[in-house]
Structure 1
Amino acid sequence: MASHVVVTSSTARSTKVKVSPGTYMSDVLDQACKTLHLEAGNYLLKHKQRNVDLSVPFRISGLVGGAKLDLVIKSKSPSPVTVAVAIPPPDGAAFSNGRLGGTFPSSFTVWQVLRQLESLPEAVNAKLNITARGVAATTNGGTSGSGQLLYESPILNVMGRELGSFQDYQRTLSQLGYNSGSVLMRLSYKTTGITFFEAQQEISQYFHELEESKSETPASSASPPVPTPLSSAQTGTPDELSPEPAPDAQMQDAPTLEATSSQTDGASPSTAGDSAPTPQDPLAPVDIFSAPSSSTLAASLTAVDDDDFTPTIAHAQLHQASLQDRSKNKRLLSDKELAERAAATEEKISSIQSIEVKVRFPDMTSATWVITHDDTGAKLYKAVRSVMADPSLPFRLVISGSKDAIRDVDAENNRVMRVHKITGRVLLNVLWDDSVSATDRAKPFLKSSAAQAAKSIVVPGVPAAEEEEKAPPVAKQQQGSRQGDPSRTADETMKKIGKFFKLPGKK
């Protein structure tokens, strides 16, 4: 059953927009702005001082027929939107849960989102192709036919809404009603009747600016950078929103794996069953540490003063300043600023010659290695296997405090420091693969020669702080000064009593 809503602008101009239960609120905004000769991308709809969700149809928007909506100007700063795209099989089998996504500004078009997803490292490794697919024309799905290459267009289903034309791909996330939060898009493909060559011409017509920016940076950046939480060394997409590890104090240039191994001649004895890493072994660790002898954390055994945990005025001021800073609106960085930050990050990584990597094993033993710019993830895996009692057991290396795993691939695009943006000392955890049995997990991780060379971790003692004479609180100081001056106390008492015993007529 058809109904209508009344949309009123800030200049008191109003218009009626006919709606049906399946009409999306973003279409209501477009129709109202078209009637009022306004740009729909600059406005939002409000109902009783509350924003209307533009991504839902009218029947679930909570509005009734004849509802009065206000047309208000939205913020010029785009807000981040988390987008996840469900990839259909068989391509989706290469991704976790069959989905690929990231965080994009609400001003990004649907086409830009698809191109960004294609340039992510996971998509590049899986050779994912979304926007440039072609299929040979055949007769009734057989092997006969002209064989002409037809364009296979991506089709996106967003909450029951189908986006499949080039005009739909020009719409931004904000125009679809997504100005914040997250959205799931289900991807499918449809063979069109136009040839692949004609489709490429239409793409260049509708997305001329995007293709032009792509041609300017063919090698390192397939599309403008976006603040996604995914690292992208292959495509040059900066990892802007992910926190960078805090740089340690200035370190001297550490030797490489080869140089370090040549200096450890005779550091660990050899046995008949296992041979210890030789000085010529480029995979030899710098140090090997044994597991803690106690199950209690060493930090909990240190005696501390309870006053050390009492917040001071300085702590309160810092907390208040932090709250005030977080309450301020902050705009997203422009493409130029993102490119400058990415260049600064690359320059910072290039200036670091080597870093120290500590690997913690499942039985709480650990070892350290020194890696350089040229070391890949495969070299780290080989180094760990060189000290394992059973190198055939599968495992993976995960950066501590995150879910970022290092891939066991020996390739230029898998250099550890550059791919994972590591600028200082880092801790890696060894996690067993699900196929490893409980019996194998209970066995010692290190082989006998490496276990004999292990040493205990020395925890430095905390120097005892000198006790300072605590000054009495300000209130007690004022109270003591009053008690020590009886004349002042008497004068104050007479002043209080005098005003109640004034004679009539006197002021």
Structure 2
Amino acid sequence: MATNVKVVGTDLRQVTIKVNPGTYLTEILEQACSKLKVPNDKYLLKHKQRQLDLSQTFRTSGLIPGARLELVVRANTPTVVNVALQLPSPESSHFPPHGRVSEKLPSDFTIWQILRQFESGKASAGKNLNITARGIPQTSNGTQAGSGQLYYDIPNIVIEKRTLSTFADFQKTLSQLGYNSGGVLMRLSFQKTDQLLSDAMREIEEFFKSEEQDSAPQKNEDTSTDGKLESASEPPTLPSDAQTSVPATTEGVSPAATTEDSSTTIPQATIGANAMDGEAMSSGLRPVTIFSAPASSTPVAALRPDLEEDYAPDISHAKAHQKLLKSLGENKRLLSDRELEEKAAAEEAKVAAVKSIKIKVRFPDNFSAEWAFGPEDTGASLYSEVRGIMANSSASFKLVLPGARTVIKDDASSKLIKGYRLSANTLVNFMWDDDVPADIRQQPFLKNSAAGRAQEVFIPEVPEVEVKQEESSAPLQAPAPRNDNQGSGSKKPKWLKGFGKK
């Protein structure tokens, strides 16, 4: 149902904007600034002294119909946003475990600058990642057709329910899309166009020429270490003769890519350079994902609003309780030797079917690291990976499985999956030995190179539940005492029938 909101400018001028439940607050800001004839990239919206999240829709923002919004001046200094890019297949397989790259970027970066940053920045980890200059040949039923020319494969960005698929959309900044803090997840896909790759490169140069010139000389420090913004220089645009020299049979391969797969053949010099630059690689060169400690001491579950309906039992709870009581009251025979052997064989087959698991180790400073292990990895492999990112690797410690308090041994003969029956992703707790002095325990746990690559866990914000009470002009009165015999004569209620009889 459509409704209206009122937006008051800084000069006290007031405009009325027509909205519907699916209207984004960024659209409200753009329409208001257009009517007030002011630039929309210089202002934000507030409601009752509360700054609004412009990435939300009118339905999820908590605003009521006819709300009065205020136009306030935005700060000139851009804020930092944690941007995660979900890659499609097969690129996602090069970035385990979730198939995405993430980096902290300023809110005044355009979508195109973000894509170029992921191509050439540290987030790509030196791997050949092509997003903005993909070309594929024309095919018919899987075979080459036409003149063999390459056609542009344009990226499609999906942010929540919005799709950005044109060069005009790519010129929008994160701030214009409503993201000025926190994090945002962008899902990437590609769509083949009827435009030649050479024509698309010329159009891209016209669209984003100013952005390329502005972003090239910038060389700031990394945001993950001291909060300063970083933007790497953009790679040059490929010439047209280099683009047409790619074989037409390599569908979906970048013009700048070589015929050699970069995910499987990585020079040793490149690996060493990445390690020196602070890439989160352990001693065994096993990929590791490091998560930073939570910023707040309050658990996220405690910040979620509680509803009264969550504590009200229903008929399903009663049925489950009755089923439990019935099962406990039944006589059960012990398993026979054959049944015990079959049960043990089923467990062995379940463990043998596991090809890979992820083990996350939680450290004393609430940082955590996650690795992927296979059937042949042992407890010594896990200890070696942990020591590879520790600042004091000579200190003694132990790794404990939660619940059972089972200690994983630093032994090359004990398999992680088969020896400890690990069939799913597992969380392991890090514990210092008793002989470790207190001064070592108080020092930073991770190396600077590993701590600098720690990424925050993206937790979507939960909208607050506003509980409204109905106002009544009548004074509150105490409830009248209950009399079960009133209105029913001398009859007893059903729940009292049968009592008092001999």
What's the TM-score, normalizing by structure 1? 0.47
What's the TM-score, normalizing by structure 2? 0.47
